Amino acid sequence: MIAAMADDIHSLHTSAEINYLILAGGRGQRMAGADKGLMLWQGKPMIEHIMQQLGARTDNTIISANRNQQHYAEYAALVISDNQNNTAGDEHFQGPLAGLLSALEVCHSEYLLCVPCDSPAPPQNLLSQLQQCMQQQNRQAAVCHDGERLQPLFLLLSTQYRQQLSDYLQQGHRKVQDFIALIEPAICDFSTQRDAFRNFNSSQDMQA
């Protein structure tokens, strides 16, 4: 069962008050169609590395996946697809925002921490630093900045953005960066951990 959120949305203290979303719904086109979240890196599927680094548990994790859902069910209380939010008429792979919306619609906590499945070593203390930035800047969302650019899929946001994201997708929009700009999140400096945002897009990356 998804963990319950504390009553005070401005007082975020433990990971039990947060649901984790791992976005694993992509095509893996540059990986010859492989499901990147399940690919082995340093002897383990990338999704295992991510969950260990985040300190996420099965009971507070949601995985957005359009394939291999039974396999992903080993790692998460809920495995969802983005098909329920299909506004473009395509059968699969509506993009990360559709996966985010599907998670917001089933999330029982008041905040959701989102990360992609192809960055197996996310930043240390990701949740606590995003929480701190969000509180200091008086926002209801926070996003990482690696010192050069935003990393919009490393995102902590309130579930209050559910309807706004739904409207955005219904209007035919798909760009993650544009939605992030729309909600005006706190910007959190992770320039000292820039390598943590490295994502694997080729078999050569996997050898590193």
Q: What is the predicted pLDDT for the residue at 148?
A: 96
Instruction: Decide: 89 and 107 in contact? Cβ < 8 Å.
Output: no
Structural domains of the chain, count: 1
pLDDT digits (tens, 9 = 90+) for 135-152: 999 999 999 999 999 999
Q: How close are the terminal C-alpha atoms of the chain, in Å? A: 36
Neighbour-count burial of 194, counting CB atoms closer than 10 A to its CB (0-12 exposed, 13-18 middle, 19+ buried): middle
pLDDT digits (tens, 9 = 90+) for 19-35: 999 999 765 445 556 88
Q: Per-residue pLDDT averaged across 81-97, rounded?
A: 61
Query: 70: domain range?
Result: 15-206
pLDDT top residue among 140 and 95: 140
Q: What is the predicted pLDDT for the residue at 87?
A: 46
Nearest CA to 64 out of 49, 75, 52 is that of 75
In a domain, 10, yes or no: no
In a domain, 76, yes or no: yes
In a domain, 201, yes or no: yes
In a domain, 41, yes or no: yes
Give dist(CA 180, CA 143) in Å, integer. Answer: 8
How confident is residue 9, by pLDDT bands cut at 50, 70 and 90?
Answer: very low
In the chain, what percentage of residues exceed pLDDT 90?
Answer: 71
Q: What is the predicted pLDDT for the residue at 34?
A: 80
Q: Global pTM?
A: 0.85
In a domain, 5, yes or no: no
In a domain, 3, yes or no: no
Nearest CA to 53 out of 134, 136, 130, 115 is that of 115
In a domain, 159, yes or no: yes
Could you tell me the CATH number of the domain that includes residue 120? 3.90.550.10
In a domain, 2, yes or no: no
pLDDT digits (tens, 9 = 90+) for 63-79: 999 889 999 999 998 99
pLDDT digits (tens, 9 = 90+) for 176-189: 999 999 999 999 99
